[in-house]
Amino acid sequence: MLSARSLFQEIVDHDDSFQLFCSIAASGESQGGWENARIAALVPDGMRDLAPKITRHGADEDKHGRIFSALLRKRGLPPVPVPPETDYTMLLERRGIGLAHEKLRREQALTEEDIVVYLAHSRVTEQRAADQMAMLVKYFGDHPEVGKAARMISNDEDNHLAYCHEELLRLAREGHGPAIQRVLRESALVEISVYRDVSLAVMDHMGRLLRWPAPKAAALVAGIRGMYAYERFSGWHRMVDLRPPERRNALGGAAASAPGFA
């Protein structure tokens, strides 16, 4: 029976597919770490109270990248180049979602509007990350090789999502509500499209590495396209709502270490 559990088990059990999976994950997390570090350095004067939380966010992402790299090292595998069609972060930027890397490379302060864009974009992408990690914890939280990493990263992603909700609600009360809702909707609709394309590309690569038969590959493609249809019709709404989080001030302290990994 084809299921998320059996699919991921197959990927983890095979060195080549595990190598690609961890390389893609490590690259994306490291990129997120760089982005947050640059945003923290460029926060406008009127919003400097956010800088420590953005820095913490970036430190967590860097840590996640090191965790995935450590999983590779423990199996004696080097990282492999990330196929461009599987680069979620790069593809989102190309579609105009989030803050452009060209802007982040400058030594020019960001605007309040830029920070709204950053937080709204993060609220959408962190929802995706939190959902994915919750699924991994559900099925592999006790796995001897990846379970500890999944639990640690999942906890961080829940913190990131709580932080985005809390800060966006605060900014909405300060008058940024219409801009927040606009950016959230635009980001969500593009993200579900990019996520579909990246998922199809990743499964194509995995299928070739694992030599999946055509019917199995076709079933996975149909499942990915079916999920996109659901998200495009109504599922995207879960990515744009804002509510007071149960975890308050979730990024208010120092980033937790990752003993045994990084």
φ, ψ (nearest 5 deg) of residue 92: -65, -45
Per-residue pLDDT averaged across 190-217, rounded? Answer: 96
Per-residue pLDDT averaged across 230-242, rounded? Answer: 94
Burial label, 105 (beta-carbon count in 10 A; 0-12, 13-18, 19+): exposed
Per-residue pLDDT averaged across 18-22, rounded? Answer: 97
- DSSP, collapsed to helix, strand or coil, labels residue 143 as coil
The 10s digit of each residue's pLDDT in 87-139 is 999 999 999 999 999 999 999 999 999 999 999 999 999 999 999 999 999 99
Per-residue pLDDT averaged across 25-36, rounded? Answer: 96
In eight-state DSSP terms, residue 174 is: I
pLDDT band at 255 (very low <50, low <70, confident <90, very high): low
In eight-state DSSP terms, residue 37 is: H
Neighbours of 47 (CB within 10 A): 18
Q: Please determine, for residue 262, whether its predicted confidence score (pLDDT) is greater than 60.
A: no
Report whether CATH 2.30.30.40 matches the domain 4-239: no
C-beta of residue 18 within 8 angstroms of C-beta of residue 69? no
Residue 169 tokens read as: 């609600």
Structure confidence at residue 3 (pLDDT)? 81
% of the chain surpassing 90 pLDDT: 89
Alpha-carbon distance of 74 to 77, in angstroms, equals: 8
Q: Please determine, for residue 252, whether its predicted confidence score (pLDDT) is greater than 90.
A: no
Q: Please determine, for residue 245, whether its predicted confidence score (pLDDT) is greater than 70.
A: yes
Q: Please determine, for residue 256, whether its predicted confidence score (pLDDT) is greater than 70.
A: no
pLDDT band at 5 (very low <50, low <70, confident <90, very high): confident
C-beta of residue 175 within 8 angstroms of C-beta of residue 259? no
pLDDT band at 254 (very low <50, low <70, confident <90, very high): low
Residue 105 tokens read as: 């490379």
Q: Sign of the CA dihedral 204, 210, 211, 215?
A: negative
φ, ψ (nearest 5 deg) of residue 110: -75, 170
The 10s digit of each residue's pLDDT in 151-191 is 999 999 999 999 999 999 999 999 999 999 999 999 999 99
C-alpha dihedral, 42 to 48 to 53 to 59, nearest 10°: 30
% of the chain surpassing 70 pLDDT: 95
Structure confidence at residue 27 (pLDDT)? 96
Mean per-residue pLDDT of the chain: 94
